Amino acid sequence: MNGPEFGPAFEQEFIELLAWRRDVRHFRTDPIPSDLVEHLLDLTSLAPSVGNAQPWRFVSVDDPARRAAIIGNFESANADALASYEGEKAQLYATLKLAGLKQAPRQFAVFCDEATEQGAGLGRATMPETLRYSTVLAIHTLWLAARTKGLGIGWVSILDPEAARASLDVPLDWSLVAYLCLGYPEEAQIEPELQRRGWQAREARCRQVLQR
């Protein structure tokens, strides 16, 4: 059986999808239909994973007290991060909006189940970190799928992961990989916000390929 053929029109749309995937921090508070969220989460099962382990565990954070704990965690970690900069970089950092925790209607903590038996250990004996890499691929799959529905995702990484895990009362052998805000962006922007704000432009260095 032959696989599907993807023509030039699809190829161009895929390029546009990659270009328009943004790390969103400014959200509208409009609710997202629950069936749409479930559909997007279903699509994460199509992500590649080492040994077909599918170690990602999505935790929907809906309880106001737990969300408040995450916000407090972020504010503490963000203050520490600000203190690590000096001069103009510190001044610029202080003006950046780095999370949409108070606006995003849906929020998910994404964990890696380090003790999963699924996959029977195939492919990860020498590189156990591939479980976490697999979890990141599920997140990226969700990110792209959300964009096709006009939704944006913000990855909040300025958190104490152990404190977040405790706040969400999940198993000890689950490692926090990402805390995601999901919602409709206030505005569509193809240029990354950090680039627009003068923090860091995209560079071609990552495109360089070493020859060995």
The enclosing H or E element of 74 equals helix 64-83
Q: How far apart are CA 65 and CA 56, in angstroms?
A: 24
Lowest mean pLDDT among 20-34, 59-73, 104-118, 192-206: 192-206
pLDDT score of 204 = 59
3 state DSSP class of 109? strand
pTM score of the predicted model: 0.92
Q: How far apart are CA 207 and CA 212, in angstroms?
A: 16
| Domain definitions of the chain by residue range | 23-186
Query: What CATH number has the domain spanning 23-186?
Result: 3.40.109.10
Q: What percent of the chain has pLDDT over 70?
A: 99
Structure tokens at 147: 């964009």
3 state DSSP class of 9? helix
Which DSSP letter does residue 104 get? -
pLDDT score of 128 = 94
pLDDT score of 98 = 87
* Average pLDDT along the chain: 93
Structure tokens at 95: 């003006």
Q: Is the pLDDT of residue 22 over 70?
A: yes
- Would you say how long the chain is, in residues? 212
Q: Is the pLDDT of residue 109 over 80?
A: yes
Confidence of residue 121 (pLDDT cuts 50, 70, 90): very high
Q: Is the pLDDT of residue 212 over 90?
A: yes
Q: How far apart are CA 166 and CA 168, in angstroms?
A: 5
Q: Is the pLDDT of residue 59 over 90?
A: yes
Structure tokens at 86: 């000096």
Q: pLDDT digits over 122-170, tens only?
A: 999 999 999 999 999 999 999 999 999 999 999 999 999 999 999 999 9
C-alpha distances out from residue 152 to 100, 136, 163, 199, 204, Å? 11, 17, 26, 21, 25
Structure tokens at 53: 């382990």
Average pLDDT over residues 21-46: 95
Q: Is the pLDDT of residue 87 over 80?
A: yes
